[in-house]
Structure 1
Amino acid sequence: MPTAIAVTSADLVLPPTDQQTPDAVVLPAPETQPLASAVADLQLLLDRYGHVIVVFPSSVPTATARRLHAVRSLLESDRIALVKSDLPPLGVAVLARQLRQLSACDFSPGVVATAARLLAHYIYAGAVLGSVAKLDRVPVTLKSHVKGWMPGAQFAVLAGPVPQLIRIGPGAEPPAGPEFVTQLVLARGQLQTDWPAGSLVPRWQVQGVQEAPLPAESPRWWGTGRLVEFAAYLPDIAILHQLVSSVRRETCHWCRMELIGDRCGFCSAPVPTAPATATAPPAGRHGPASRVP
């Protein structure tokens, strides 16, 4: 039985990529469901799937984050992973779908949960904005802020993996993109522009474009409703599987879950670092001996 992947709103559920991609579970908002019902529902998920990984943007309302932690605490369960992502909402939706794909593979729940941080580095998430005047999640210069108030100005902003911002205009180059084949998903807000399809597709090795509804959280994340959000990502499950498989696995010293990276996805315990030796080894002819990370 695949590990259950849950999200905090229905607009974070993208269509499956194939018949093997499991559906996501949508957790109701706190204002629509009593705490007791939320606890009971999550217990049923644990009984059915064994483990639950909840994926949500770091920008969710405080009440939503508190509800997630309260339910996990009341269940006293180490089988619930809360995966908070700093990606924009559409990027989080892409990440959740990739974890759904991986959950149907031969990976343990701990590896799937900790794969989120790895996969986020391969999601190029951004937006075309009609203004950057209220954008506070991506570094913006004072000059860009001033231009953000000018009528008709449009900006291409990349939130990750490396933040970038350009003003769209004649001769402007798009943000530096991925060096691998991608697919692109678009979510249109109140801004009318075809810039992502016209400029990103030919330069970002995009082999396919899909459209999705704009997540409700996106205008708040980007500081404006005048936007078109986009995310380029690795679509091939075989490549995702190879990427995750190539990373060294550890066992959490606290809850014994399997993991990749430096922190457990279920209990958040860090991987212990090796104690420093009292005496450094002698340097060779070509300098200090290198250490494999």
Structure 2
Amino acid sequence: MLQIVLPVALPPVPLYDVLAPPLLTLDTRDHGDIDEMVDELGAACTRAAHTLLIVPSWLDPATRVRLRTARRLLQPAPLSLVEVHVPPLALSVLARQLTVLSEAVAEPSRLASATPLLTRELVIGACLSSISGYPHGSVPLHAHLSSYLPWTAFVAMLGPAGGVARATAWRPPASTAMRRTRLLHGRPGTKGTGWARAAVALHLGASTAEEVPQAPQAAAWWGSRRVVEFVAAIEDPQELLNAVLAAPARPCQWCGATVIGNSCPFCAMAAPHPAAPTGHAPQRTGPACLGSRGAE
């Protein structure tokens, strides 16, 4: 089983009505000393056969350096460190997906290396009251000027089809058309952002929409004091599992672990050539991988 660890505390998300192992949070604010961080990470590694530490890019640089150093010092412990560039709510969703899948995917290395795949399956964005401080892409001048108009709101989306648009004229790109999805969004805080539940759910084709607590890191990540994050995620966990199991995988030439992509999440060795599908079917654990058994 793969244990999921986050180096920052985030509000939980009500995604998937199945039991899953608890998400472990490492409070890095109290770890100015590298020895303390190594001790706590080492203790976490003893609780499970494999551990995946997900490090967001918005964590302060000094803490990220200490986490990488701790990971190197703990080798050869089965600990993988994966860095992701997603906002706080998307990180909560990603962590929940990984904990749910951790009991259904027999090979921890396959699931750990599927993190970029799971991220691409999310539709990530936010409603902003202003884009004057938006740090994740170029914004047209006319959009900057309209930020100063009263009751103006904008939609910012991430990914290849991302961008910024006025909320009144926003429509999601065709590339975001997904299967049955559940929309999770923060609490609308102003008159200009109160459209989130109805408008975003409608345009993204989400079957349900649910309000979640706003992460305290959201305002800094999106560059706006008034922000409503939203994430549309695949609603059926079995469909998510099928996507992970169907992804082309290969054995790592260094440690032999089955991985998706070009880098092994545990020994960090890169593939010398493009990945090729393995010749055997992926293994699952148990006859009913993801049956609904109650909320976490």
The bucket for the TM-score relative to the shorter chain is 0.7 to 0.9
Q: Which one has a bigger Cα radius of gyration?
A: 1
2:63 is matched by which residue type in structure 1?
A: T
Match in the other structure for 2:81: 82
Deviations 1:228-252, CA, capped at 9 Å, x for gaps: 1100011211101110111122111
Verify the 8 A CA contact 2:183 2:209 in the aligned structure 1: yes
Aligned residue type for 1:258? T
- 1:242, 1:201 → 2: CA distance? 24
Could you tell which deviates more after superposition, 210-219 or 221-230?
210-219
Q: Can you list the C-alpha shifts for 1:22-44, whole angstroms capped at 9, x where unaligned?
A: 21100112445643332222212
Contact 1:165 1:175 (C-alpha < 8 Å) held by counterparts: no
Q: Are 2:39 and 1:25 aligned?
A: no
Counterpart of 1:266 in structure 2 is: 266
In the aligned structure 2, how far is the partner of 1:15 from the partner of 1:141? 36
Aligned to 2:197: 197
Q: Which residue number corresponds to residue 280 of structure 1?
A: none
Residue of structure 1 equivalent to 2:116: 117
Is this contact kept in 1: 2:55–2:83, CA < 8 A?
A: yes
Which moved further from structure 2: 149-158 or 239-248?
149-158
Residue aligned with 2:186, SS? strand
Q: Which amino acid aligns with 1:273?
A: H
1:181 deviates by 1.2
What CA deviation, in whole Å up to 9, does each residue of 1:181-233 have, x standing for no partner?
10011123754422121212123221222222222221111001211110001
Q: Letter of the 2:172 partner, please give it.
A: P
Counterparts of 1:234 and 1:181 in 2: how far apart (Å)?
Answer: 6
Residue number in structure 2 paired with 1:282: none
Aligned positions of 1:174-253 closer than 5 A: 174-176=171-173, 177-188=176-187, 190-192=189-191, 193-253=193-253
Q: Secondary structure at the match of 1:48?
A: coil
C-alpha separation in 2, matches of 1:76 and 1:86: 25
1:216 and 1:251, CA in 2 relative to 1: closer, same or farther beyond 3 A? same
Query: How far, CA to CA, are the matches of 2:160 and 2:56 in structure 1?
Result: 15
Give the letter aligned to residue 90 of structure 1: L
- Secondary structure of the residue that 2:158 maps to in structure 1? strand
Match of 1:37 in 2: 36
How many residue pairs get aligned? The number is 271
Higher RCO (CA 8 Å, separation ≥ 6 residues): 2
TM-score when normalising by structure 1: 0.85
C-alpha RMSD of matched pairs (Å)? 2.0
Q: Deviations over 1:47-74 (max 9, x none)?
A: 2202111113211111221221121122
Q: CA deviation at 1:106?
A: 2.9
Asked if 2 retains the 8 angstrom alpha-carbon contact of 1:164 and 1:175, the reply is no
Q: Structure 1 residues 131, 5: CA separation in 2 closer, same or farther (over 3 Å shift)?
A: same
CA distance, structure 1, for counterparts of residue 197 and residue 144 of structure 2: 25
Distance in 2, matches of 1:268 and 1:217, equals 29
Distance 2:267 2:138 in 1: 31
Larger mean Cα displacement after TM superposition, 124-133 or 260-269:
260-269
How far apart, CA to CA, are the structure 1 residues paired with 2:161 and 2:11? 23
Deviates more, 1:230-239 or 1:144-153: 144-153
Instruction: Name the residue aligned to 1:277.
Output: none
Return the TM-score normalized by structure 2: 0.84
The one-character-per-residue Cα deviations of 1:142-183 (angstroms, maximum 9, x if unpaired) are 3222322333321011113521221022xx242223331100
Distance in 2 between residues matched to 1:191 and 1:108, nearest whole Å:
45
Retained in 2: the 8 A contact 1:189–1:214? no
Matched, 1:54 2:53: yes
CA shift for structure 1 position 272: 1.6
Return 177-186 or 140-149, whichever deviates more: 140-149
Question: Is contact 2:37-2:70 (8 Å) kept?
Answer: yes
State whether residues 257 and 264 of structure 1, in contact with CA within 8 Å, keep that contact through their aligned partners in structure 2.
Answer: yes
CA–CA separation in structure 1 for the residues paired with 2:33 and 2:13: 27
Measure the CA separation in 2 of the matches of 1:118 and 1:221: 22
